[in-house]
Amino acid sequence: MVLVAKIFEVREPLELGVIARKLKDFGEEEPYEREGKREKLTMEILDLKLEGDSLVGIFSRDFMLSRYYKRGLVETLVTEEVPFKIKRSKGRTFLVVLAPSKARGVKKLLTDYVANKLSEILFIKTGAIVETKITHETLKNLHESNPRATKLIWFDEVDIPNVGKLALAGSALADTKLYRDYLEHSKIWYAVFEVQKRGLVVGITRNCVVTLFSRIEQREFVDYVLDEVLPLIS
């Protein structure tokens, strides 16, 4: 199963103990009516726990999922649970939101939704929790430090007219001239590579979306993100 995580930063200063208290008390209900029956869509924080310099929990949200069945739409009540971890690191506070890929499109959208909702809960506004960035130069150095480990590179910000994105994969990655030509006209947006010391294949974007293509436990994936990806953030 592919695992996806996105890293955000909590820009407003707030102690983990205070964050825990505010999130523990959170809960919302929204009335919803279908076929003459009244339902309640709930939103809450579950399994909240302090672990040293980290706070872990699950963001739970109900919503109605519409599916096409026998030429009609059928609505199903669904609960989406999104694990998250808030960690202090070198004077900064990071939020890692996980998105296991069972319903991948919905869950990837939920990472941004969770970040904005936690910002509202903690600071009564959005914008206090923001996206993080990894620079083009950092991804470039990551690839060039071990080109044989790289599986795929996507480039964006292409200055060639009518070209939106460029990609290198497979044997093309060993073509130094082609790689240099692409660098002259674009920036690295996404790189997929093998983390040889851990035996993992991961993809990382400049806006800190990390995709795992190997089979490991969720906790191991979080450890990798915290240990290896956080230090790359500008």
Give the separation between CA 208 and CA 191, rounded to whole angstroms. 11
Give the separation between CA 153 and CA 82, rounded to whole angstroms. 28
DSSP conformational letter for 148: G
pLDDT digits (tens, 9 = 90+) for 139-160: 999 999 998 899 999 999 999 9
Name, in order, each residue with C-beta under 8 angstroms of 118's C-beta and a sequence gap of 6 or more.
23, 59, 84, 95, 129
User: In the structure encoding, which two tokens stand for residue 56, read together?
Assistant: 């872990």
Q: Which residues pair with 63 in a beta bridge?
A: 78
Of 87, 79, 20, 8, which Cα lies nearest the Cα of 47?
20
CB 42 within 8 A of CB 63: no
| pLDDT of amino acid 105 | 45
| pLDDT of amino acid 106 | 46
| pLDDT of amino acid 100 | 55
| pLDDT of amino acid 170 | 83
**Mean pLDDT by groups of 10 residues along the chain of 234 residues:** 92 94 93 80 96 95 85 86 94 91 54 95 96 97 92 95 91 82 95 92 96 93 95 96
| pLDDT of amino acid 173 | 82
